[in-house]
Chain A
Amino acid sequence: MRLLTHNMLSSNIKGVSNGFPLRIEVEKVVEKQVDLNADFLRNMFPKIEWKAFVDAAKTIGYAELLEEVDSFALESEEFLNKFHHALLELHLEEGALVCPETGRRFPVSKGIPNMLLHEDEV
């Protein structure tokens, strides 16, 4: 699972008012190279919750992103490379996503998070 997916997914347990961002527990991270698409990154940038993204990247071992960035950064090739790498090339392969309000763990196995809810959570 890429950090881009993590940046969109939230916990939807009954009664939880803000299930985003899910905390990450890491057992294994894998890297898969993909071609950089600068237009895609520029379009995506305003839709990203930046703080959640930077924190998630740090948690899975990538600390090269700054906490505060503005859209001028998108002119820099160095920035685009780092943004691309963290957003699309790092995958949480094994571990868990944890609901920030309830602490409920959603296991991640072979890169697939299991977000199925129990009957009493719907």
Chain B
Amino acid sequence: MSAAKPDSGVLLERHAIGRDLARRDGRAKVTGTARYAVEAAVERPLFVHPIQATIALGTVAELDTSAADELEGVVVVLTPATAERLASTDDAELAILQTDEVAFRGQIIGAVIARTSEVARDAADLVRVRYAEREHDVEFSADRDDLYKPEKVNAGFEADTVEGDVDAAMGAAAATVDETYTTAMVHNNPLEPHASTALWDDKTLTLWDSTQGVHSARSVLAEVFGLAEEQLRVICPYVGGGFGSKGTPHANVVLAVLCARAVPGEPVRLALTRQQMFALAGYRTPTIQRVQLAADPDSRLLAIAHDVVELTSKIKEYAEQTAVATRGMYAAPNRRTTHRLAALDLPVPSWMRAPGECPGMFAPEVALDELAEKLGIDPIELRIRNEPEVDPESGKPFSSRNLVACLRDGAARFGWGERNAPPGSRREGDWLLGTGVAASIYPTYRMSASTARIRFEGGRYGVQIGAADLGTGTWTTLAQIAADALAVHVDHVNLQIGDTRLPYASVAGGSSGMTTWGSAVVEAASAFRNAFGDEPADGDEAQGDVGRASEDYKMSAYGAQFAEARVNIDTGEVRVPRLLGVFACGQIINPRTARSQFIGGMTMGLSMALHESSVVDPRFGHVVTHDLADYHVAANADVGEIEAHWVEEHDPHVNAMGSKGIGEIGIVGTAAAISNAVYDATGVRVRSLPITLDKLLAGLPAQ
């Protein structure tokens, strides 16, 4: 691959970009004929059922498979004794069936391959396991004496930053806030469970996997199994939701490949059960966040400090970058952010929609609301007064930053100006009413590698790149970008994605897909037009690589979220009849799919604010709420009205489309806006998510 070039800085002329087009994959999805990973068309597949550890720490002393082996229809029972040795065990999460050690409850300690799914499950139940158990440690707390500072946090950021003297500023301020906020352990729970179909033919592996990145999945598996990348083909045209949990292969994918290699020539299917996903598919760490704010009499921030405690697994470190957003959000001369980890005998935490920003904007955005009240200033005005002129951390100019425009536009649309009663004083019947606001931010990331190929055939432009569509709209929006880059009608573009036989594409993560893949498509189109002009012949082909992002600017998307809350005065039940978000995300490629991304993120944010909590039982080390009955994700009737809008934003620095990623920003700030609205309704400040009625009842006004 040639060294990446910088962008030209010229924006594409827009024809297809910005158009409200229906999803190209809509028909296949509404009929259910779009095939997901476990539905790949293969002949006579075998079925895999994992066997999971039922202790949280120790060793497997005995694993008796005799009853399972004898069951009719069982093909192979894989155990640490019979599974192949992996070429690389560097990633302890993926190094399954290599030793007798158990590092967390639910870890894979075996698997059954059988002719039917019923037999596989039955046989897995027949395997008898005796353990030598050791005392486990799964209790998360900020008071532990073994908290440690990670070398880096996720996405390569420094664990700690310090500027000035926060403590001195706190002592000399007109108003301060010093509070601790917590967010719950939450699980991604895409509707499609993590699933694969795998076929090993003695030389090559074909893997239909539900993944956010076919090429990155291939790289990981090639290393784990000691194969050349050419020996692996990963296919994934559709993903039934990922939200980060399919961003990197988890142990289930390794198990699928182990099983396929144990039965050469026979395809195997492995779909995790919903319950298994709570141990094996990643989750968002719970967080304990101390926020300190200090302001002068003019409501200008003198100090911002954000100290975070979160958990990781003892076998593999994942350090969520929870305090990183705080570093660039508002101006203040004295600043500090820190991250400390508790390493526990728990499954490995991982990415979940807006890792870092999502939990990390909850605490400071509630703290700002608290500070605004102490200062006697409107919380929107407080944010506007502390708007930085340049990035507070790096000193770089912003490529564009329209947070203030979002706040003002949102305030007008939402009717914020009518907010003039003191907290806990607006009542309609049995319901207390309140409104709240919070800001959103999400960085505009660009991955360093991606290549697109364009081939003209039969009057149409075939655009090929191994990108992913998780429901994000890639099938439609990448074709829109290609159309404008080629200066042709979008109907003349055939897009192919989701296959490692296509040119390399980066993982769909960090809201980087459109910026990265889109930029590669623009480069490929430019190369194609330079070589063949606007009247190409059949077979003409060119490719291009994503260029280098400018390092002269700080690039982020911003937003403002408004919430209305109603709290029942007798029961403390919280309803959110209205959410309204305004976002500044550069050029919107497709308003229809973009709106779905925003409202989808806000809906997940509402769910995080009110419902979601993975409860770990300290006695056994597992998530008790491990299904969709006990782990409630927002259902249709939980959601009221949700509006998403965006402000016009011209940004020639981000990429040739002028676009910023939008998949994650919608979930950032929602929970804070809701918490602030609940406070306005009740006068009760809930600093711990989810906001359940038990946290409100004691503080509700007397009847």
Q: Do A and B bind each other?
A: no
